[in-house]
Amino acid sequence: MQIWALILILICLAAYGHVIGRRRAISFAAAKPALLHSLPFYHGAYLALWVVIPSLLAIALWLVAQGPIIESLIISGLNTDTQALSADRLSLVLNDIVNVASGDIPSREPTPEIAAAAQKFSELKKLSNLGMVVISLGLGIACLWWAKGKISAEFRARNQVERIFTIIMILASTIAILTTIGIVLSLLFEAWRFFLRIPLDDFLFGLQWSPQTAIRADQVGASGSFGAIPIFAGTLLITVIAMCVAVPLGLMSAIYMSEYASNRLRGVIKPLLEILAGVPTVVYGFFAALTVAPFFRGMGETVGLDVSSESALAAGVVMGIMIIPFVSSLSDDVMNAVPQTLRDGSFALGATKSETIRQVVLPAALPGVVGAVLLAVSRAIGETMIVVMAAGLAANLTANPFEAVTTVTVQIVTLLVGDQEFDSSKTLAAFALGLVLFFITLSLNVFALRIVRKYREKYD
Amino acid sequence: MTDRGLQQHSGAEAVMHGSADKRANEEAARVRRRYRSEARFKAYGIAAIVVAISMLILLVGSIISTGWSAFYQYEIALDVTFEGSEIDANNPRTANYNGFIKSALRSQFPDVSGRKEKRKLYGLVSNGADLQAMQVVVDEPVKIGKTVRIWVLASDDIDSLLKGYIDRDLPEEDRRVKDTELEWIDQLKSDGRIRWSMNTVFWKSGDSREPELAGFWGAIVGSFFTLLVTLALSFPVGVLAAIYLEEFAPKNRWTDFVEVNINNLAAVPSIVFGLLGLAVFLNFFGLPRSAPLVGGIVLSLMTLPTIIIASRAALKAVPPSIREAALGVGASKHQVVTHHVLPLAMPGILTGTIIGMAQALGETAPLLMIGMVAFIVNVPGGITDPSTVMPVQIYLWADSPERAFVARTSAGIMALLGFLVLMNALAVILRKRFERRW
């Protein structure tokens, strides 16, 4: 709460800075208004920015730095034999100290050493908080005073303020790049640690996936083997099923809407299909597990087939339904981009509407449609909740859609949900799978976007 | 086809009459075939749309049909005696209300004996019945020492039975509710001691292991805090980035690179953002697990491309003449943007933002990665409290084995869909109301 109060005080200080900046500028202008380079507003804004930005930076820096610094101070104050503990044990001791200091229940009865350290910890914390308040406010006031001195009639306040805003905007636009870099680095780093333990070719070409590492050496069935082929095969199977549903349905509805339907009908159907796209995936997952999977199981029983209740079929079909609007709206766009003259030429030769569509419009739109399908494939591969709720957990290497298979995303979720130590091969394997997922979807997207763009330029 | 038709026509004069007739027949047949295939093709299109829309209807229908029953609950009336000797009037919360409930049940059915039977009898009412009884005394201390008829929640099995989800005709061993319990319930029913009421628990409390006590409010508040963080981060950053890219950025490699990046980020699977959050925000920066703060940061990174793309489209839609007019009267480039372009583009930007927020509201997978799947009973009070969000709560309930959670899950889905419909309706209204054609 304290930090919010501090920020509130800073905002008040900035408002005050704005007022005095304006007033000072107006007092200069009173003599000869034409001499003032910038409007009084910009002088005020200049002072306010000088109050807020340095002190906010100081607060952020302080918050990041205070934890490690306090920690190292505490550790240096502990007994030498406690300091000699391994990193894991030491972090447990530190945890106890923090718990004692905040009044929570520590894992053991606190020894005098820990109690003293806890005392020191809370004192340091208090000191640090005080320091933060003093430094940030002091910095704000100092900057205010310094910037106030710069204000004069000729001072180019507007240019200064605009320059600061330009810098802020550039920073905002680089966040997208930082995110990408963050994703790539974190995945690469964790996956690299995984591949130090498990060789890359074992992971990419192994046929056995059972990430449960053995606790005892002689344990059966917990070999901790990380061959990802069954997972890739499962992902592929479910994706293929989803595409078998989504591509014909999506494409045909796009054709009907762009070539046959009247504007009124379009106005009704398009929003309905968009609703299908807006339903959260967890809802589809529940629908798949509750309604569709039992339905397929019952169907299988009546014709004498053994359909698993977590069959790839159910997950794939529901995923296909989810992707229909995606395929249809993208292909609708591409088909609308085909020039009307091509259609008119075909009609003039006596072709029927369907012949025109099949032999003129679709071939012309084909690259775009392929791009749309590739984007849909990338969506299907990356889709998580439907498969987590409706597909299986065991990695079966099978092409039978009635059996349960597992996918990359399901494995990432099962490996990472729940309490786990962060350094085991099991959790690191999730990052290796994440890396594979990221690169496959990324290359599909890049490829698809290139196709779509190339096609669009052709008729414009 | 038409060329061939022409050839046939010109040739028809030269050939014999019968042959021309035959050709005309063939031609007519071909035309009929082509029209038939035309009709078939059109029918495929209609069928595709009908299938897609009937799937939507099936989805919504199955959710509503399983979920509507979670909005009401059955209650059982008990004549509870609040023994004055056992309740401390100054501190009424400490008394053993479970004991009062049990003795009320025993006096209702005096002939029940044996430990097993008694346990079954106590199982008629919810585990939370003692809290309801306590509330009665805390609200009105005058009731201490009196016998009062209070309505307590039925347990989830009894609730399911009364709602008709448990088939009475099944053999006893296959049924979750046994014959003795059926007898008790029938007797209570004939005494008028069973009624249904609106399910207020669902809208007021957090999660619980007992289906009849599990509420959605904790998840709603968690979603609210998470979206608050998401909005606070992604809206300013997204709009600033869009303004820079659309109005100020020079056309060079770097700008192209940023644009490609944003387009690709929009298509990265959401679970990858969860992995980023786990590796960077939890393990590297040490932010708290399960907190709306981290969830909000991760979701804001995810919705940022949506907001940037929508905002750029809105900025692009403002005609250049506006900018030129403002520049012409002496405004600086920044003044043009802040005074003229941005206000005109704002409705479009807000529409895009609302759609991005709706996406974030329905997102589950990245939040699983950063520990928002914990079982959390308390309603969160801030952005650093452990909490869960609506879609994750739905996922958790969907995974629970109890039969009564199925209805809760569907009810949760209805609530979530309700919020989504509201947000999208807001976006549509905004677009309709403020959209300008130039």
SS3 A225: strand
pLDDT in tens, A154-204: 888 899 999 999 999 999 999 989 999 999 999 999 899 888 888 888 888
- Confidence band for A213, pLDDT divided at 50, 70 and 90: low
Q: How far apart are the first and last CA of chain B?
A: 46
What is the spatial distance between Cα A362 and Cα A342, in angstroms, rounded to a whole number? 11
Q: Assess contact for A446 and B264: CB atoms under 8 A.
A: yes
The pLDDT score that the predictor gives to residue A110 is: 67
Position A423 confidence tier, pLDDT thresholds 50, 70, 90: low
Instruction: Please say whether the beta carbons of A373 and B354 come within 8 A.
Output: no
Taking each helix axis from N to C end, the angle separating B217-243 and B342-362, rounded to the nearest 10 degrees, works out to 140
For chain A, the domains span: 2-153, 156-197, 225-459
Task: Pick the more confident residue, B99 or A171.
Answer: A171
pLDDT of residue B42 exceeding 90, the answer is yes
Report pLDDT for A36: 81
Inter-chain contact A442–B268, Cβ cutoff 8 Å?
A: yes
More confident residue, A320 or A392: A320
Kindly state the percentage of chain A with pLDDT values over 70: 91
Give chain A positions within 8 Å (CB) of B55. 276, 321, 324
Angle between helices A229-255 and A362-382 (to 10 degrees): 140
CB contact under 8 A, A409 and B59: no
Q: Looking at domain A225-459, which CATH architecture does it have?
A: Orthogonal Bundle (1.10)
Q: Is the pLDDT of residue B13 over 60?
A: no
Question: If you average pLDDT over residues B42-64, what whole number do you get?
Answer: 93
Domain B217-434 has CATH 1.10.357.10: no
Q: How confident is the model at residue B1 (pLDDT cuts 50, 70, 90)?
A: very low
pLDDT at B381: 84
Question: B237 and A409: CB-CB below 8 Å?
Answer: no
Lowest mean pLDDT, pick from A262-271, A369-378, B106-115, B261-270? B106-115
* A65 — pLDDT class (breaks 50, 70, 90): confident
Distance CA A457, CA A382 (A): 29
Distance between CA atoms of residues B241 and A171, nearest Å: 8
Look at residue A162 in the predicted model and tell me its pLDDT. Answer: 93
Listed by start position, the domains of chain B span 2-68, 70-206, 217-434
Residue A221, pLDDT above cutoff 50: no
CB contact under 8 A, B240 and A168: yes
What pLDDT sits at residue A419?
A: 58
Nearest to A419 by CA among A408, A429, A427: A427
DSSP string, A363-403: HHHHHHHHHHHHHHHHHHHH--HHHHHHS-SS------TTS
- For residues B164-168, average pLDDT: 80
- Quote the CA–CA distance of B317 and B56 in Å, as a whole number: 33
Subunit contact B52:A385, Cβ cutoff 8 A: no
CA dist., res. A236 & res. A395, Å (int): 13
Mean pLDDT of chain B: 86
Per-residue model confidence (pLDDT) at position B2: 47
Closest CA to B216 of B368, B391, B72: B391
Which residues from B are below 8 Å from A285, CB to CB?
Answer: 395, 398
Question: What is the rounded average pLDDT of the residues A299-305?
Answer: 88
A452 and A212 Cβ atoms separated by less than 8 Å: no
Shortest Cα–Cα distance, B153 to chain A (Å): 27
Q: What is the pLDDT of residue B392?
A: 93
What percentage of chain B has pLDDT greater than the value 90? 41
CB < 8 Å from B in window 287-306 of A = 287, 289-291
Three-state secondary structure along chain B? CHHHHHHHHHHHCCCCHHHHHHHHHHHHHHHHHHHHHHHHHHHHHHHHHHHHHHHHHHHHHHHHHHHHHHHEEEEEEEEEECCCCCCCCCCHHHCCHHHHHHHHHHHHCCCCCCHHHHHHHHCCECCCHHHHHHHHHHHCHHHCCCEEEEEEEECHHHHHHHCCCCCCCCCHHHCCCCHHHHHHHHHHHHCCCEEEEECCHHHHCCCCCCHHHCCCHHHHHHHHHHHHHHHHHHHHHHHHHHHHHHHHCCCCHHHHHHHHHHHHHCCCCHHHHHHHHHHHHHHHCCCCCCCHHHHHHHHHHHHHHHHHHHHHHHHHHCCHHHHHHHHHCCCCHHHHHHHHHHHHHHHHHHHHHHHHHHHHHHCCHHHHHCCCCCCCCCCCCCCCCCCCCHHHHHHHHHHCCCCHHHHHHHHHHHHHHHHHHHHHHHHHHHHHHHCCCC
Residue B307 binned pLDDT confidence (cut-offs 50, 70, 90): very high
Flag whether pLDDT at A283 surpasses 60. Answer: yes
Contact state of A417 with B1 under an 8 Å Cβ cutoff: no
Q: Is the pLDDT of residue B269 over 50?
A: yes
Cβ pair A295, A318 in contact under 8 A: no
**In chain B, which residues have their Cβ closer than 8 Å to the Cβ of A180?**
261, 264-265
- Asked whether residue A284 carries a pLDDT value surpassing 50, the answer given is yes
Residue B7 confidence (pLDDT) above 60: no
Q: Render pLDDT for B185-244 as a digit per residue (tens, 0 to 9).
A: 888 888 888 888 888 888 888 888 888 888 899 999 999 999 999 999 999 999 999 999
The ipTM estimated for the assembled molecules is: 0.87
3-state class (DSSP) for residue A10: helix
Which range among A187-196, A207-216, B115-124, B133-142 has the greatest average pLDDT? A187-196
> A221 or A126, which is more confident?
A126
A:B CB pairs within 8 Å: 250
Nearest CA in chain A to B267: A445
Name every residue whose Cβ is closer than 8 Å to that of residue A353 and which is 6 or more positions away in sequence: A259, A260, A347, B38, B41, B42
Nearest chain B residue to A354 by CA distance is B38
Can you tell me the distance from the alpha carbon of A172 to that of A160, in angstroms, rounded to the nearest whole number? 19
Which residues in chain A have their CB less than 8 angstroms from residue B432's CB? none
Nearest-angstrom CA–CA distance, A122 and A114: 12
Q: What is the mean pLDDT of residues B138-153?
A: 83
Distance from CA of A218 to the nearest CA of B (A): 32
Q: Which residue has the higher pLDDT, A89 or B116?
A: B116
Report the residue of chain B nearest A1, measured CA to CA: B382
Per DSSP, A292 falls in state I
Which of B383, B204, B270 has its CA nearest to residue A281?
B270
Backbone dihedral region for residue A224 (phi beyond 0: left; psi -120 to 50: alpha; all else: beta): left
pLDDT value, residue B208: 84
For tokens 């014959």, the residue is: B179
Q: CB distance A174–B278 less than 8 Å? A: no
Q: What is the pLDDT of residue A126?
A: 85
The yes-or-no verdict on residue B183 having pLDDT over 90 is no
Asked if the Cβ–Cβ distance from A382 to B272 is below 8 Å, we say yes
For A105-150, write each residue's pLDDT tens digit.
656 666 777 778 888 888 888 888 888 889 888 999 999 898 888 8
Which residues of chain A make contact with B56, given a CB cutoff of 8 A?
Answer: 272, 275-276
Concatenating the DSSP letter of every residue in A86-98 gives: -HHHHHHHHHHHH
Q: What is the mean pLDDT of residues B65-86?
A: 85
Q: Are B196 and B75 in contact (CB under 8 A)?
A: yes
Q: Residue B37: is its pLDDT beyond 80? A: yes
Q: What percent of chain A is modeled with pLDDT above 90?
A: 37
- Residue A412: its chain B contacts at CB < 8 A? 271, 275, 369
- Is the model more confident about B43 or about A214? B43
Average pLDDT, chain A: 85
Residue A306, classed as helix, strand or coil, is coil
Give the CA angle between residues A360, A365, A371 to the nearest 5°: 155
Token code pair at residue B399: 């995974």
pLDDT band for position A438 (50/70/90)?
Answer: very high
User: Does A92 or B279 have the greater pLDDT score?
Assistant: B279
Helices (H), A198-292: 200-205, 229-255, 263-278, 281-287
For residues B73-87, give the mean pLDDT: 83
For residue A255, list chain B residues with Cβ-Cβ distance below 8 A.
45
Dihedral sign of CA atoms B390, B391, B396, B398 in order:
positive
